[in-house]
Amino acid sequence: MKKNYFKVLLLLVLFIGNTSVNAQIIADGTYNIFNPTLSEVISVNRVAEGDPGNPQNVIIGRARMQVYDASNSDQEWSFSHQGGDIYKISNVGDSSILGVKDGWCGDFGDVQVGFDNSSPYTLFKVIAGTNANSFVFQIAFDSDCNFGSTNVPIKAFDIDGGNSGSKINTFPTDSGNANQEFEIVALGTLSTNNSFLSDALSVYYDKDRGLVINSKNADLGKLSISVFDLSGRAIISKESNGNRTTMKLETLNKGVFFARISNKENNTLVKKFIVF
């Protein structure tokens, strides 16, 4: 009996240790990669140099910042865990893997799509940023500046000049640099360019009442309201016909959540809020 007890205990310890070791900083899935400073997402450039729609003259196929468009699959990125915090990241619209064309050990590396699964230039380490809910994408170099998993020397994705629409380069990691920090958000949890509901509604969290939604204008009719966590999992949903709605959130732990609100014309507002 004692022998079996110690055997079970040993298996439990091994299970806990293995679970801890294999924990992922980001769950495998498809996401938007959002920079809150620019309020833009990483996309793939499809516009030729010299075209007015490409004022930064970004080369076709390069990763670049763009205004969020829920219908644009070039803005959707699938994460595949490779062990540790190392990931391969593929683009939904391009159906290829994100990688770096680089000859300078990470300085001024060109982040772009077009790589296949056999390429060694597609390994990235995802670490927590200094800002809440932000992440930094580092190049998984080995000590000889080849792509590997030791992450030496440390370089990171960086928005060129911090400008709207700019390409993504790689530069030495700079802790707290807003050009290197991104939020990895579930599809459908970013707001679109449509400002109708943003102008028409006041949305905020109140510790006693929960999520409060007030109409600033006339009756907007039926509203569909859903609350999501950071992984994109829908937690609470309801419909409202009034000018003032509250949603009790007693079951939620403290943290960051998204409220998605739509009307019958499919105008949509996504609002981030913090439960405290």
Q: What is the pLDDT of residues 103-155, one digit of tens each?
A: 678 888 999 999 999 998 999 999 999 988 899 999 998 888 888 888 898 99
Residue of 194 and 181 predicted with greater confidence: 181
Q: How confident is the model at residue 191 (pLDDT cuts 50, 70, 90)?
A: low
What DSSP character marks residue 200?
H
Res 9 pLDDT > 60: no
Res 10 pLDDT > 80: no
- The number of helix segments (H) and strand segments (E) in the chain equals 2, 19
Chain segment 220-232, per-residue pLDDT in tens: 788 889 888 776 6
Please provide the CATH number assigned to the domain covering 29-186: 2.80.10.50
**Do 131 and 138 form a contact (C-beta atoms < 8 A)?**
no
Paired tokens of 178: 């807003």
Residue of 221 and 239 predicted with greater confidence: 239
Average pLDDT over residues 208-223: 84
Residue appearing with tokens 């290197």: 180
Paired tokens of 266: 């499919």
Residue of 153 and 196 predicted with greater confidence: 153
DSSP bridge pairs for 40: 35
Q: What is the pLDDT of residue 63?
A: 98
Q: How confident is the model at residue 22 (pLDDT cuts 50, 70, 90)?
A: low
- Domain ranges in the chain with CATH number 2.60.40.3080: 195-275
- Domain ranges in the chain with CATH number 2.80.10.50: 29-186
Which helix (H) or strand (E) segment holds residue 10: the answer is: helix 2-21
Q: What is the pLDDT of residue 194?
A: 55
Average pLDDT over residues 165-185: 94
Does the pTM surpass 0.75? The reply is: no
Residue of 197 and 167 predicted with greater confidence: 167
Average pLDDT over residues 145-168: 90
Class of domain 195-275: mainly beta
Beta strand 29-35 pairing with 77-83: antiparallel
Average pLDDT over residues 228-257: 83
Res 6 pLDDT > 50: no
Q: What is the pLDDT of residue 218?
A: 64
